[in-house]
Amino acid sequence: MLAHNKSKQLFDRAQNVLVGGVNSPVRAFRGVGGDPLFIERAQGPHVFDADGNQYIDYVQTWGPAILGHAHPDVVAAIVEQAGRGTSFGAPCTLEIELAELVSQAVPSVEKVRFVSSGTEATMSALRLARGVTGRDGIVKCEGCYHGHADSLLVKAGSGVSTLGLPDSPGVPADLAKHTYNVPYNDADALEKLLADAQGKIACVILEPVAGNMGCVPPTNNYLRKVRELCTAHDVMLIFDEVMTGFRVALGGAQAHFGVKPDITCFGKVIGGGLPVGAFGASANVMSQLAPEGPIYQAGTLSGNPLAMAAGLATLKPLFDNGVYEQLSAHATQLWRGIVERAQDVGFDAVGTSVGSMFSVFFADAVPHNFQDVKASNAERFKKFFWGMLEHGVYLAPSAFESGFMSLAHGEQEIAKTLAAAEKTFAAMKSA
């Protein structure tokens, strides 16, 4: 058995000064039981906990470490910039360079506004859509998580579901009434809602690949149908690509599926692991933001030079040919191998992947929405999680989260992961 004594001691200490002992709820391991690991360092495809245990990591800091942890070029860029200053509160060249890369890669984006988190990006995108349309209503999909802004904490997925929480207290009813929910992958439900709420809806916001209920891909031309419905009803379409941006393809999910939104939100990868977010759109839409237009948005740390430097060092290698083919092939190889080993011992299991995002669900059919995901065998996932951890594989501590492949994961890591899965399932079967 791997020892976790130091992690346990740190967690006990943390609970005296941090809410729940953590700074983000999913980290508390409530979704799998037991106490969280405290990570001391990370390198390439691995993380190392306070007790010195090494794990193959498929959380990858929830997505940003697409090159692997502590990539030498990213570290060097951060160190060099830190020597020049960590924050200016003024324009810098790095902002322009990173914005140029984003607009070069993403089909729908001509101009960008950097912020400091994915939550700030989606919150600002909603304000922009409401300001442009003059309407208040927003539509989101059940189980899709777009950050913890008040308007978006209605039937959210991910951490809210992991903890079994209802819609969050603290969200005013007068504000929540402007948020409408439809099932993911259900274009008919969206069509009916837009018809019934004609003239009230400013925007539809969705994850083009749901990543906060596991990795749930769009089906049956769903994204194209959503685009057509938004156009027909004069409603703005926001793609929350905080997770999928530069993860599923160079140009994000919109490039992968060939569907352009009106506004796109970014985070994770574009900061190389540092706190960052962004939203972008056509020059005409973005001109409505201050200082060009009347819609106000601001932030002292927006365009922070450390985050910009890390983002540039992370994005540039992603323009190389073959990068996304490698990531996609490895993600598919991994989940298929895990599913085969589960089925070999008689467990229902299915898998999904888009680009470098992947999931394994303990279910008899691939889920298409949040209700399907909730019907999967969460208790079996908990046993699988702890078994894999014991064999040196670190997965997201929740059945409602996606896994991530990095360029640092090679055939050796995949082989070790599949060997761990085989041992874990054998132990689960005999228990």
DSSP string of 207-270, one letter each residue: -SSB-SSS-B---TTHHHHHHHHHHHTT-EEEEE-TTTBTTTBTTHHHHHHT---SEEEE-GGG
pLDDT band at 158 (very low <50, low <70, confident <90, very high): very low
pTM: 0.94
61, 337, 413 from 333: Cα distances, Å: 21, 6, 12
Proportion of the chain above pLDDT 90, given as a percent: 89
pLDDT tens for each residue of 7-66: 999 999 999 999 999 999 899 999 999 999 999 999 999 999 999 999 999 999 999 999
Distance separating alpha carbons of residues 376 and 366, to the nearest angstrom: 10
Of 30, 38, 39, whose CA–CA distance to 162 is shortest?
30
pLDDT tens for each residue of 76-105: 999 999 999 999 999 999 999 999 999 999
Complete domains list, the chain, with CATH: 5-70+320-430 (3.90.1150.10), 72-319 (3.40.640.10)
**Is the pLDDT reported for residue 221 higher than 60?**
yes
pLDDT at site 169: 73
pLDDT tens for each residue of 362-379: 999 999 999 999 999 999
pLDDT at site 168: 65
Catalytic residues: 145, 240, 268
pLDDT band at 147 (very low <50, low <70, confident <90, very high): confident
Judged on CB neighbours under 10 Å (0-12, 13-18, 19+), 45 is buried
Instruction: Count Cα neighbours of 185 within 13 Å in the Cβ-side half-sphere.
Output: 17
Q: Determine the 3-state secondary structure of 385 from DSSP.
A: helix
Helix, strand, coil tally for the chain in percent (to 5): 40, 15, 40
Lowest-confidence region among 141-150, 244-253, 300-309, 335-344:
141-150
Lowest-confidence region among 148-152, 198-202, 391-395, 411-415:
148-152
pLDDT tens for each residue of 99-130: 999 999 999 999 999 999 999 999 999 999 99
Q: Determine the 3-state secondary structure of 162 from DSSP.
A: helix
